[in-house]
Amino acid sequence: MRVYTHPACLRHAPGAAHPEHAGRLAAVVDALRSAFADRLDWIEAPAATDEQLARAHSRRLIAELRERSPSSGLCRLDEDTVMSPDSLDAGLRAAGAVCAAIDAVMTGHPRRAFCAVRPPGHHSPSDQAMGFCLFNQIAVGARHALHDHALERVAIVDFDVHHGNGTQSIFEADARVLFVSSHQSPLYPGSGSVSETGVGNIVNGVLDPGATSEAFRQLWRERLLPAIDAFAPELLLVSAGFDAHRLDPLADLNLTAADYRWITQELIEIADRHAQGRIVSTLEGGYSLTALRECSVAHVEALLGN
């Protein structure tokens, strides 16, 4: 199985006290290298092109991020979202990783891939960077799959503890893409009500603060997984945030690494039925280093088929 990453993603530095720091990605990469040794094929992610980005983002946003990218110091885009000199390259590599991974799985070799990248992306809508995110790499990837591989049905699965408001916004009028999300509410960014359904292609599942593994699995088993199965996607894309883990400092759910292994295995069964097994997953949130290590290993172990 391939893992796409790039050193620029480690150099993105939004500030010493920022929760979205390079140690997050370092923990994931170190854990995967230690757990799987030579079983993973590590690939340097290319930078996304402006053409790829513009399928999900406005030209104005692309130009703005290029113009505001600092040569030194920091540029604060909003209260939470900060650019350092390497941030633009990191964002381009994160989006490029997902596109390259999709190109690979569409050939069937391998059928699954993981993108170990940062900053996260799922909070960014078409015209704004927000919520630690610059470009929305999962959205860029979905549009790439539709355009370059002529797919008709792509499912995006988001189990980050925060709702992927940007992803939902980009696709809420595009019936070719199903967006399915479980997330804590109330919590940032305040979206993700079950009443938000797009054109019938948005399925949100809300978890109350303090929810446990049982509630998470019941929600997916009874409501969210059947929606994906009924959609019969030709490709599954996963926004893999691990911040619903019980150790995460930015949220209040109580999942364990076993829950991420379980949901990954369930998604593999659907991908095997409808998508020739094709899954591309990309790292989103997760702010406990211990949880990131445990959960990324559980997730990738399931993707490997163990």
CA distances from 283 to 25, 76, 98, 280 (A): 9, 23, 10, 10
CB 149 within 8 A of CB 224: no
CA–CA gap between residue 279 and residue 299 (Å, rounded) = 12
The answer for residues whose C-beta is within 8 angstroms of residue 299's C-beta and 6 or more apart is 114, 240, 242, 260, 261, 264, 281
The answer for residues whose C-beta is within 8 angstroms of residue 262's C-beta and 6 or more apart is 217
Nearest to 126 by CA among 93, 171, 162, 92: 171
User: For residue 38, with 0-12 CB atoms within 10 Å meaning exposed, 13-18 middle and 19 or more buried, which class applies?
Assistant: exposed
Q: Which of 122, 123, 245, 274 is catalytic?
A: 123
Strands of 45-149, DSSP E: 75-76, 82-83, 112-115
CA–CA gap between residue 193 and residue 178 (Å, rounded) = 16
Residue 71, CB half-sphere, CA atoms under 13 Å: how many? 0
Report the amino acid identity of residue 138. I
Query: From the CB of residue 304, how many other CB atoms can be counted at a distance below 10 Å?
Result: 15
User: Phi and psi for 44 in degrees, rounded to 5?
Assistant: -75, 125
Nearest to 43 by CA among 126, 128, 117: 117
CA–centroid distance for 33 within its chain: 20
Q: Is 122 a catalytic residue?
A: no
Active site members: 123
